[in-house]
Amino acid sequence: MADNLVLTDDTVGTLTLGGDLTVRRFGFGAMRITGRGIWGEPPDRDEAIRVLRRAVELGVNFMDTADSYGPEVSERLIAEALHPYPKGLVIATKGGLLRPGPGEWTPCGSPTHLRRACEGSLRRMQLDRIPLYQLHSPDPNVPFAESVGALAQLREEGKIAHVGVSNVTVDQLREAQGIVPIVSVQNRYNLSDRHSEDVLEACESDGLGFLPWFPLATGQLTKGGGPLAKVAKAHKATPAQVALAWLLRRSPVMLPIPGTSKVKHLEENVAAAQIRLDDDEFEVLSELATAA
């Protein structure tokens, strides 16, 4: 990919979180730079470092990670690859999930755990304050208000600048907003899975960033040479690239964070920001998504 496709404020647009974190509307999700099952070290550590550095070269200035990715591996690699961090790079991380083993995720939203998780992230990433710290998931065994309250306390202490929530309903978002200012929501959302449509609409109404995880998924929409395949062919793009372009057009508060462990795939993802869907293409894809 030619470097004239580097992300700029004009080509991809910007989003301001919490009034002071202005980022381009195309980030990088650092989950997949770890080992199989999001567990352990990556099979090619040098390539993982190259991916992180190449993302910054391509104009990405928002990275999302979590202490549970590895666990701890993703955060350490970010620090190894990028510290001291370039001016303007916003690193968001998350706490609230334990990892019993590869592919296993267990909610843990106790205030004690969240404080320990946040302080561990600060150390690993060599940060004095985390720009955006997110509750990774509500814990059914801990009152939601207690988990959010722990992040509010960390914010008051200056350990985190802004608070986000992830994997929440609209009701949970509203409850969190009653405790501490929330600047972003990270929920599963993609071309073929729009179950969080109401949460996205709430974010639009309140001017909150919406970070769709699993953004490249197209489900069954690629089969049969249907409309998605036709749009992709018209743009000389892959279905996954079109899925990203659709997300970017879907909402001005959308901040996709596609992740990968390969530089080539990273460059393909970033190239999707150059795709401009016309009105008819966007509507056809939106109807597909609604029916999926």
Closest CA to 215 of 182, 255, 185: 255
Written as one letter, the residue type at 274 is Q
Element containing residue 200 per DSSP (H, E)? helix 197-206
CB-based contacts of 28, cutoff 8 Å, min separation 6: 52, 55, 60, 62, 63, 64, 257, 258, 259, 266
Dist. CA 179–CA 197, nearest whole Å: 23
Closest CA to 77 of 144, 118, 32, 129: 32
Residues 136/97, Cβ–Cβ less than 8 Å: yes
What dihedral angle (degrees, nearest 10) is formed by the CA atoms of 72, 29, 151, 167?
Answer: -110
Residues 48/33, Cβ–Cβ less than 8 Å: yes
Q: Interior CA angle at 173 toward 171 and 175, to 5°?
A: 70
Question: Could you give the 3-state DSSP secondary structure of residue 97?
Answer: strand
Q: 85 catalytic, yes or no?
A: no
CB-based contacts of 250, cutoff 8 Å, min separation 6: 200, 286
DSSP 70-90: BTTHHHHHHHHHHPSPPTT-E
Dist. CA 244–CA 233, nearest whole Å: 15
Which residues carry out catalysis?
Answer: 69
